Amino acid sequence: MSASRWSSAALLGAAGLVLAACQSDHPTGVPANASPVQSFQVTSMDYAGARIATGNNKPFYQNAIAEKKYLGNRTAYSKNIVQSPWDLTWNGGPVVTQATQWNVYINCPTTPAQCWGTGAITPKTFLHDFQASSMIEISGQYLHEDPTGHFANINELSTNVTFAPDPTTGTPTMTGQDLFAILHAASLATTKSGYNNIYHIFIPQGTDMCTAPGNCYSPDNGNTFVFCAFHGFADFDTTGHYHVLYTMQPYQFVGGCDAPNQPRVIDATASTLSHEFTELTTDPDLDAWFNDLTGNEISDLCFTFRNPEQLGLRSYVIQEEYSNTVHACTDGAF
């Protein structure tokens, strides 16, 4: 998808999907030796850092494929010869071959499982299952190495932030400046940034997110409801040494973001989380792997294919990913 500044206008809305039925599984939770959730605070200093930060984000437009829209300009077209018009080509940018993942939970009054999961299955549980599965191997053809186990270090952070209410709906609404302030605070708390760290920012049910007026995740306001999630980066200095990669994860178990065959909260969470994670690793700065004809990234091409997938001991209804090897969407490397 296209890169857009925080001031970019909304282009597309959400679309519903009709897919196959779900299969059940038996949640077992996260490993017994899982580290505790680390709390941190977002202060006025972080908002000051956010005000001078620069960055780009790639919104997840759900009907981009159906309408075959090319969103935005790409300046570095690949000279690669492709085997299919849907194949991805490399445009010269970096990729992420290994990283520590940081789940950042915002304003969750209970536990991650209750806010974004099902039973004992949390976003962290899913990321553990996904990174050890055949599905993550699909991205190996773009990373030029087997990524299995390279993203296994997953930590959890939490904080509480007061978001101003939307003047129309009264719903607490996160802004781009809020997001950058949270990223600034989280990366200071962990002392980690750069291409070996990925921050997943989760906001709970009942909170909206707008990158600009009218360009929002807003299930309570269809007039501004444009995206479900996105990934991007933020630079907090001019030297390139404070480069923070992130995915933005609003609550996904809502109409327009979940699919009819996703009866559990964790399925909706997991499908979008895998979508943005896979895109971030193959296109972190929005100048690496994407389709030159449409601007779509690896996950955009397959978001409609959400099927039951067995990842280790658990099953999730999640989307497939695009493979240049088979020139189609798939749930495993070939």
Full 3-state SS string of 219-268: CCCCCCECCCCEEEEEECCCCCCCEEEEEEECCCCCCCCCCCCCCCHHHH
What confidence score (pLDDT) does residue 159 get?
A: 98
Q: Is residue 75 part of a domain?
A: no
Q: Is 182 helix (H, G, I), strand (E, B) or coil?
A: helix
Q: Is residue 140 part of a domain?
A: yes
What is the count of structural domains for the chain? 1
HSE-up (13 A, CA, CB side) for residue 165: 5
Position 7 pLDDT exceeds 50: no
What pTM was estimated for this model as a whole? 0.85
Percent of the chain with pLDDT over 90: 76
pLDDT band (50, 70, 90) for residue 4 = very low
Assigned token pair, 184:
């600034």
Please state the rounded mean pLDDT for residues 69-94.
63
Residues 199 and 60: beta-carbon distance below 8 Å: no
List, in sequence order, the alpha helices (H) in the chain: 44-51, 64-67, 112-116, 123-131, 140-143, 176-190, 265-282
Q: Is residue 159 part of a domain?
A: yes
Assigned token pair, 22:
């779900």
pLDDT band (50, 70, 90) for residue 332 = confident
Position 319 pLDDT exceeds 60: yes
Q: Is residue 167 part of a domain?
A: yes
Give the domain extent around 224: 38-63+95-330
Q: Is residue 22 part of a domain?
A: no
pLDDT band (50, 70, 90) for residue 82 = low
Q: Is residue 3 part of a domain?
A: no
- The CA-to-CA distance between both ends of the chain, in Å, stands at 25
Q: Is residue 297 part of a domain?
A: yes
Alpha-carbon torsion angle 132, 331, 61, 54, nearest 10: 30
Q: What is the pLDDT of residues 89-146, one digit of tens each?
A: 999 999 999 999 999 999 999 999 999 999 999 999 999 999 999 999 999 999 999 9
pLDDT band (50, 70, 90) for residue 290 = very high
Q: Is residue 10 part of a domain?
A: no
